[in-house]
Amino acid sequence: MRTKIKNAFLSKVNTIGLPILALCWVSFFWGTTWIASKEGVKHMPALQLAAIRQFIGGGIYLCFFMFKKTPWPKGKQWKSILILSVLNFVLSNGLSTWGVKYISSGLGAIIGALVPLWVVIISLFSGERLARLAIFGLIVSFGGVCVIFYDHLSDFLLPDFRFGIFISIISTLTWAFGSLYTKKKAASFNPYFSLGLQMFLSSILLFAFTGATGTSVSLSSIPMISWLSIAYLVFFGSVLTFIAFIYALQHLPAAINSIYAYINPIIAVILGSFIFGEPLTIALAIGGGVTLFGLYLVNFSMRKNRNKINPNL
């Protein structure tokens, strides 16, 4: 009897407890990657940091799938992988990493969470009809962003701040296009192997760009703190946390699994204030909360619409 109870308890932990722990891991550690990026780019060129991170992370993925003898992509699959490599990693990841060199990590994380809004706006321009709730969420999030930036009006006089905001917004836009392209060009090719290839190819393109423009520095001149930041980003941002994310995705409902997207910016804001002394103002707290609530409404509406189209999702 005791054995049956013990087995039932362990089964319950495995089916509910571990996926929740995996989601908590994702929610926390993906929020901390903004802090690691901020620390790393203080001491070296941002695009070079992104290139090294993606080279190592992508290399780890490739070694794993080569060891597993996973089939390589064929024909047009390479075209999709290359396009996504540019959109998701050269532009989105590269520019967001560059952006936190000039703006706070918390602000960068909040801007990074705006991807669903771009998806809605792009869908509107594409002629797609959207639910009223999605439109309302878009308006709420826009209002939250206005509150946040009201607190930074004087900072817009600084060229570096304006540049940081600009490239951070562009990074979210390119990720939105990448998301829509992935949905449109969904293929049977292993998506995780594809992710590793995207990271690895993007690192080559970034290395080529920084080398051609003379914006890279010698590896020997990169300080230890930046190498530690890169190591953290690779193992916690690109490998371990992504494994936890996949595990949570496979064992939790989409509505629960999406919570990490709202917790990541909160973690980044709090840690940025604690570690770097970044200002945690009332406007940032209220504006960030309103923005994330609007994003929740947008995501809820889009998920509800997908379920109507395909109840099996």
pLDDT of 3 over the 70 cut: no
pLDDT at 133: 81
pLDDT of 309 over the 50 cut: no
The stretch 37-60 carries a mean pLDDT of 94
- The continuous run of DSSP H or E covering 108 comes out as helix 105-112
Residue in this structure with the two tokens 């390589």, named with its chain if needed: 72
Q: Provide the 10 A C-beta neighbour count for residue 252.
A: 17
Per-domain residue ranges of the chain = 44-309
Answer for the pair 113, 261: CB distance below 8 angstroms, yes or no: yes
Handedness of CA 108, 110, 111, 113 (dihedral sign): positive
The stretch 108-126 carries a mean pLDDT of 81
Alpha-carbon separation of residue 105 from 59, 100, 158, 277, 287 (angstroms): 27, 6, 17, 11, 16
pLDDT at 307: 56
pLDDT at 10: 43
Alpha-carbon separation of residue 256 from 19, 194, 272 (angstroms): 10, 26, 26
* Confidence grade of residue 311 (pLDDT, cut at 50, 70, 90): very low
* Confidence grade of residue 225 (pLDDT, cut at 50, 70, 90): very high
pLDDT of 30 over the 70 cut: yes
- Express each pLDDT in 170-222 by its tens digit: 999 998 888 778 766 655 667 778 888 999 999 999 999 999 999 999 999 99
pTM for the model stands at 0.82
* Confidence grade of residue 308 (pLDDT, cut at 50, 70, 90): low
Residue in this structure with the two tokens 């304006």, named with its chain if needed: 162
Lowest mean pLDDT among 81-90, 213-222, 223-232, 251-260: 251-260
Name the DSSP class of 14: I
Q: What is the DSSP string of 154-175?
A: GGGGSHHHHHHHHHHHHHHHHH
Mean pLDDT across the chain: 83
pLDDT at 246: 77
pLDDT at 92: 92
Token code pair at residue 73: 């992509």
